[in-house]
Structure 1
Amino acid sequence: MTVLSSHNPATGEATPTGLRATTTEEVDRIVTEAHAGARALAASGREGRARLLEAMAERLEESRTRLVETAMAETGLPRPRLEGEVGRTTFQLRLFAEAVREGSFLEAAIDHAGQTSLGPAPDVRRMLVPLGPVAVFGASNFPLAFSVPGGDTVSAVAAGCPVVVKAHESHVLTSQLAFELLRAAVEELGLPPGTVGLVHGRQAGADLVVHPLIKAVGFTGSPAGGRALLDLVDARPEPIPFYGELGSLNPLVITSGAAAARGAAVAEGLVASITGSAGQLCTKPGLVFVPSGEAGDELVEKLAAILAESAAQPLLNGGIASSYREILGRLAAEPGVTAAVTAAEQSEPAWAAAGLLVAGTAGLSQVMEECFGPAAVVVRYADETDLVAALSQVPGSLTASLHSEPGESELTRRLVEVVTPLAGRLVFNGFPTGVRVSWAQHHGGPWPSTNTLHTSVGVTAMRRFLRPLVWQDAPEELLPEELRDGHTGAPRRIDGVLHP
């Protein structure tokens, strides 16, 4: 039996939790409970699920102080960041409640029986239905917004799927507290306890993925961790979707015009983006393309000067800090790479200082590795041809950012053409850290940033946990409410015409 401890990365202190790793038998019981509750959750209807999401938001809001203080002690993240994360998490729950009530996510369509140019046609009605129990893996860097009450859990529940979350070992107490608050909301509304479940431990995570009653997996983490889970999924007798958000370099391009016009401001914004949350954000700009010449030199000097003065910060755990130092040191040792800012050694193993490396486009392939922490690589390019050739080598990312001036419209258009195949979100004259939770958002990108076309942030994240189902010539009493004639509670396409 593995007893779990909670570790404070800022102090190195370990605290017993009273929790233990979930056994294989317990995983089976929890997943079976989720499967047993799936029908009742679906039967609660859109209004029932919307009320559940709102009740979850209320429970989290009521326990804001406990959540923030618990997470601070386990992650080393500062109070303002975690206060904001509670707000983001409750906002997300309420946004999905609105979306569930609105109903367009169902993609409801009705084609009545009748004569067509191809002859008589049957009555056909289609909409999206829940997949079934979903496994979610909490992320290390967002103990709330991408963890137990995070976007994967919220979007799955909104879709009508029970969820079993594998708690991240970096914040077991935060995960347990958040789970208890979500479960309290489930009980308050009289829904099945299997609506939300929680497991602890790496073996429990593996057991969860291979359980035959799990119908989809949501994961946010490293490419290595995602690959290991995907291999388990692929070995299942029944294939299921695996939605992984993995590594991302997030290239950021600064044109010569932008460097000359506002190089200092861009440098200051870059520092905030690189060091925010100790650089432990999946959207941190890891590759920064800066033009050669005097304006580019001044920008890099400004960037290095500010980073050198930035304070060291605790990373989420000692393993992440160790990996950060190892990768940064290895990249700095590559031929043609210089360290503009050397990450100073820290007395505490989980702490890390900022680093900045500078390379040319000729050695780009040697530095294209994500360094999870407060560091970035500046790539100096000679001209537009050199820049375009370099960008074409960058692997798929969640984001690509372009800083340019109005007089460079042709260059900007060309760069957009180059980076569009590389990213899921294009950012213009801004910084990619910070992902708005909204209807229009897409948080995903080409491999290796994700292995899916779907978003993990925003309303359309529900689409991952739904499948199409068609009812042909079905008696009306067997149809879902949204597919019955005369229903007005959700947008539908009827005989080819959209009825909002």
Structure 2
Amino acid sequence: MNARKLKAWRAQHAPMLEAASEAVRTRRPYSPFSDELADYDRAQVEQGESRFRRLLDAPLHTTPQVSTEPDQRWAGSERSPYGFDLGIRYRVEDFSQLASRAEVAKRKWQQLNIELRCALLCEVIARLQDDTFLFAQVGMHTSGHGLFMGFHANAVHAQARALESVAHVLAVAREMSCQFEAPMMERQGSCQRLSRQFATMPVGLSLVYAGQVVPTWGAYPGLFASLAAGCPVVVIGHDQAVLPMALTVKVLKAACAQVGVPHDIVNLFHSNDPAAYRQAALHPDVRLIDYMGGAEFGSWLRQHAWQARVMTQQSAQTPVFLHSTSDYDGMLENLAFGLCSFSAQLCTSPQTLYVLPEGIRVVDGVVSVAQFERDLVERVEQVLARFPCARELLGALVAPQSLAEIRACESARFARVLRHAETVHDPDYPHACIVTPSLIAVREGFASSVEHYGREIRGPVSFLVQPPDLRALLAELRTIGQHHGALGLGLYTVDAGVEHAMRQVSQEMGALLSINFCKNFYISQCAVFTDIHGGGTGAAANVTYGAPDYYHARLRMTEQRKLL
């Protein structure tokens, strides 16, 4: 093992890790890398695209030593949401063999002290930052991002999320580790001295299932937290978003190989048999499972993978209550952009807008529900008009059935359509499904339709609902949180009583409450190092990114005593 190189990395990345550790301690926002495109050279953007193109229609090797075994099997079926096959193939291996190799690699990995493990992972994060615009392109063509969205969600913000996990695990390990000597008096005997040593050990093999919408942002917290804790990791990418996780595993393996750490500490598991992904979760060596994705598979994992600690964040929607505001124009701007951005495919995008029948109180009176409907539609049109290239704002739909689902909502009995979703032709990507927002008012008398609009509908559709009063609204929000899932909750009000009531219900739901977000800080945004993600309650999540338990779960405490 190249201890000199590891120590050099520790010294090189110490300022970044110290800043991250301080941010973790204080919960203050911290951005290790700029998220402004203007701060990067245009040539980097172009190189990212050319590097992505070179990956197409070829096998992708994640290991540093490319083997050419004659019986190797390869598979891959990714298709860009912008309308072409990637043609990238990944090695198919037996999961039991990966688990066995991981167990061997773990013995050497956990022998590294936590400081050196974190140094190696910081080096990996720095290399991922060098690959930012490759990952931005990959985000476009596996997750339907626009370039700016890919730059943020699949690159710099995901890298920050990785560093956040490393800093958290380092803090937990330091907290749980100590060594001291102390006197011990046994009845009337003589005083003796006892040494005690408390240390941490990894809990075991970690399995990380990545989603499609924000694969790196969603998977990096579990991946880097487990590795920092000393756990070996097997990564399973979404079948349409394998590439971002394969590239991440490749960077991790290359750094490990460079310093003599067994690169089997992390592996990619890919199969052409979907049942193999369920069987992997049931392997007796798997002790941790991180999952971000749809509710069906998340529920299956929690019901069947009893040998592992299963941590899921799954289907959710974000309701918004518009009660009153001192900045009506800023509120409109914020909502309209949120409804358009990335075609509202994030679980934190505003989906259900609640307005009481008496309308929205503003500085100089009241805006009626009918007026608000007209104003919101007009503002959506204005936001769309600012982007000559619609895909930069809207991205492309990742789920082929999304448009059909939106059309079904528009034609439902409860729907009064304020704005129909429209497909947009992109000359650069003529086969992409790019869709503008659909705005639907729920007709009075269709209270049972909460079964339709209360669930997550991935795509640009939102519902305007008029509950009869505040009490009915709060009851419906509790139902959505418990049975359908909500990770976020928006509120616009200048009334302290309304704010207090919504604070209470958001805590019960385990939803991140965003109050009076106007202009250009959006309800869907989650600032790394300060905001949590997932409330650990209700249908949406049983774990919280950024909460202590998320990191403690990967370590166990050990004690050794010696009579001196």
Question: What TM-score does the superposition give when structure 2 sets the normalisation length?
Answer: 0.72
The one-letter code sitting in structure 2 at the alignment partner of 1:354 is P
Aligned partner (choices 78, 98, 105) of residue 30 of structure 1 = 98
Structure 1: tracts of 5 or more residues without a match:
478-500
Q: What letter corresponds to residue 289 of structure 1 in structure 2?
A: Y
CA distance in 1, matches of 2:375, 2:552: 44
Task: Determine if contact 2:319/2:350 at 8 Å carries over to the other structure.
Answer: yes
Over aligned residues, Cα RMSD in angstroms?
A: 3.2
Of 306, 312, 315, 2:396 maps to 315
Q: 1:399 aligns with which of 466, 488, 506?
A: 488
2:470 to 384, 399, 406: 384
Per the alignment, residue 480 of structure 1 pairs with none
Corresponding position of 2:559: 471
The yes-or-no answer on 1:449 pairing with 2:528 is: no
Offset at residue 133 of structure 1 (A): 1.0
Letter in 2 for 1:355: S
Match of 2:157 among 88, 95, 99: 88
Does structure 1 conserve the Cα–Cα contact (< 8 Å) formed by 2:202 and 2:231? yes
- CA deviations over 1:196-224 (Å, ceiling 9, x no partner): 11011334422321221111111100001
Whether the 8 Å contact between 1:438 and 1:458 is mirrored in structure 2 is no
Q: Distance in 2 between matches of 1:226 and 1:103?
A: 27
Cα distance in 2 between the residues matched to 1:425 and 1:108: 32
Equivalent pair of 1:249/1:286 in contact (CA under 8 Å): yes
Structure 2 CA distance for partners of 1:298 and 1:457, relative to 1, 3 Å: farther
1:76-475 equivalence runs, <5 A? 76-85=144-153, 86-103=155-172, 106-108=175-177, 129-147=201-219, 150-201=220-271, 202-234=274-306, 239-255=307-323, 257-258=324-325, 261-293=326-358, 295=367, 296-307=369-380, 310=384, 311=390, 313-315=394-396, 317=398, 320-322=399-401, 324-345=402-423, 348=431, 350-359=433-442, 360=444, 362-366=447-451, 367-396=453-482, 397-405=486-494, 408-430=495-517, 431-438=522-529, 441-450=532-541, 452=542, 454-457=543-546, 461-467=550-556, 469-471=557-559, 474-475=561-562
Gaps of 5+ in 2: 1-72, 360-366, 385-389, 426-430
Query: Hey, what's the Cα distance between the residues in 2 that align with 1:87 and 1:314?
Result: 18
Q: Deviations over 1:124-180 (max 9, x none)?
A: 876653211100011101132224xx1110111122211100022222333322221
C-alpha spacing 1:166/1:232, structure 2 compared with 1 (3 Å): same
Query: For 2:332 and 2:262, how far apart are their aligned partners in 1?
Result: 52
C-alpha spacing 1:444/1:263, structure 2 compared with 1 (3 Å): same
> Aligned with 1:90: secondary structure?
helix
Measure, in 2, the Cα distance between the counterparts of 1:280 and 1:99.
Answer: 29
Aligned length, in residue pairs: 453
1:18–1:442 CA distance, 2 compared to 1 (3 A): closer
Contact 1:321–1:351 at 8 Å: present in 2 too?
Answer: no
Q: In structure 2, what is the equivalent of residue 42 of structure 1? A: 110
Question: Which amino acid letter does the alignment assign opposite residue 466 of structure 1?
Answer: L
The separation in 2 between residues aligned to 1:336 and 1:57, in whole angstroms, is: 49
Asked if the contact 1:307/1:355 (under 8 Å) is kept, the reply is no
SS of the residue aligned with 1:139?
coil
Kept in 2: contact 1:136–1:217 (CA 8 A) = yes
Once residues 173 and 111 of structure 2 are traced to their aligned partners in structure 1, the CA distance between those partners, rounded to angstroms, is 18
SS in 1 for 2:249: helix
Structure 2 counterpart of 1:471, one-letter code: E
Distance of aligned partners of 1:98 and 1:262 in 2 relative to their CA distance in 1, 3 Å threshold:
same
Identity of matched residues, % = 18
Comparing 40-49 with 138-147, which one deviates more in the overlay? Answer: 138-147
Does 2:130 align with 1:62?
A: yes
CA distance in 1, matches of 2:166, 2:506: 35
Question: Is the CA contact 1:267–1:300 (under 8 Å) kept in the aligned structure 2?
Answer: no
Counterpart of 2:315 in 1: which secondary structure?
A: coil
Cα-to-partner distance string for 1:358-381 (whole Å, 9 max, x where unaligned): 225734523212111122222113
CA separation in 2, counterparts of 1:102 and 1:38? 21
More divergent stretch after superposition (106-115 vs 189-198): 106-115
8 Å CA contact 1:400–1:422 kept in 2: the answer is no
1:81 is matched by which residue type in structure 2?
M
Shift of 1:114: 5.5
Look up the equivalent residue of 1:461 and give its one-letter code.
Answer: Y
Q: Which moved further from structure 2: 99-108 or 128-137?
A: 99-108
- How far is the alpha carbon of 1:287 from its aligned partner? 1.7
Supply the distance in 1 between the matched residues of 2:232 and 2:84 (Cα, whole angstroms): 35
Partner of 2:37: none
Change (3 A) 1:426 1:205: same
Q: Give the aligned partner of residue 87 of structure 2.
A: 16
What is the one-letter code of the residue matched to 2:336? V
CA drift at 1:184: 0.9
The equivalent of 1:481 in structure 2 is: none
The Cα shift of 1:102 comes to: 4.0
TM-score (norm. length: structure 1): 0.81
Residues 316, 52 of structure 1: alpha-carbon distance in 2 compared, 3 angstrom cutoff: farther
Contact 1:74 1:170 in 2 (8 A): yes
Cα 1:445–1:461 shift into 2, 3 Å: closer
| Native 8 Å contact 2:377 2:419 kept in 1 | yes
Please give the alpha-carbon distance, in whole angstroms, between the structure 1 residues aligned to 2:332 and 2:288.
Answer: 42
Q: Is the 1:315–1:321 contact (alpha carbons within 8 Å) kept by the matching residues of 2?
A: no
Contact 1:8 1:14 in 2 (8 A): yes
Letter in 2 for 1:340: L
**In 2: Cα distance, 1:288 partner to 1:95 partner:** 33
What CA distance in whole angstroms lies between the structure 1 residues aligned with 2:296 and 2:503? 30
